[in-house]
Amino acid sequence: MATIAALSLSACFGSPDVMKRSDANRPAASTPKRPQMTSAPSFNSPEAQQCAVDLKQAGVKFTPLPNQDHGGGCSSIDSVKLLDIGTPTSGLGAMTCPLAKNFAAWAQYAVKPAAQKYFGQKVVKIETFGTYSCRNIYGGRSGRLSQHAYSNAVDVSGFVLADGRRIMLDGGWKGDKASQDFLRALHKSACRRFGTVLSPDYNAAHYNHFHMDMSGNGYCR
């Protein structure tokens, strides 16, 4: 328990989700009306405490976040803010601890070696469209909440190599052979780590990102 106290002081399955499109004319996602945000202490359960210990033992730098009830069914429970996973990553907000743990491992044990294998160089940045967003799936005005509404999903849009080249899902998924092989290797690895993984092959809404979340039981498209 002393370790957990120190940590606290330091430091889709079913209907899939849709990322914010890059085009300026996309329809705005509907955000459920919500009251003032409230917060409460986090990492009280044994499972959450063990997850925090696992992150620290993996050398991941993070800040535990208080539990948040954002209203409208949206929440951030036992979530963290990742500070350093070994590779700079843009756009990361609140992430449930299991999502953060698996994402950090994916970056370390899939992204890094794949870049060396297919390009002979390092990935110096992972680019994402973010994590938490209080919205319904597909940004609709009705329907179930997205896993993003629970801080339980991340959308990865691309990778920056040491030579400055950007390997993006938009273009790279059907691009040159090295880009295709690299991105498909990362997709295959993600499918072993996350409950739901959606790629550009799933539908047009995912043309520019991997959606990865901890719901479901190995739904991989």
pLDDT attached to residue 139 = 67
Q: Is the pLDDT of residue 30 over 60?
A: no
User: Which residues in 5-161 belong to E strands, given as ranges?
Assistant: 38-40, 61-64, 67-71, 74-76, 79-84, 95-96, 123-130, 153-161
pLDDT attached to residue 140 = 67
What average pLDDT score do residues 50-74 get? 97
What's the CA gap between 124 and 87, in Å, rounded? 6
pLDDT attached to residue 38 = 65
pLDDT attached to residue 217 = 85
| Mean pLDDT, rounded, of the chain | 86
**CA-CA distances (angstroms) from residue 175 to 179, 181, 183?**
6, 10, 10
Residue whose C-alpha is closest to residue 214's, from 77, 129, 100: 100
pLDDT attached to residue 218 = 85
CA 62, distance to chain mean position in Å, is 15
What's the CA gap between 149 and 137, in Å, rounded? 9
pLDDT cut 70: percent of the chain above it? 81
pLDDT attached to residue 200 = 97
pLDDT attached to residue 49 = 97
pLDDT attached to residue 17 = 41
What average pLDDT score do residues 55-62 get? 98
What's the CA gap between 130 and 106, in Å, rounded? 16
pLDDT attached to residue 37 = 55
Contact 94, 39 (CB under 8 A): no
Contact 107, 86 (CB under 8 A): yes
pLDDT attached to residue 7 = 39
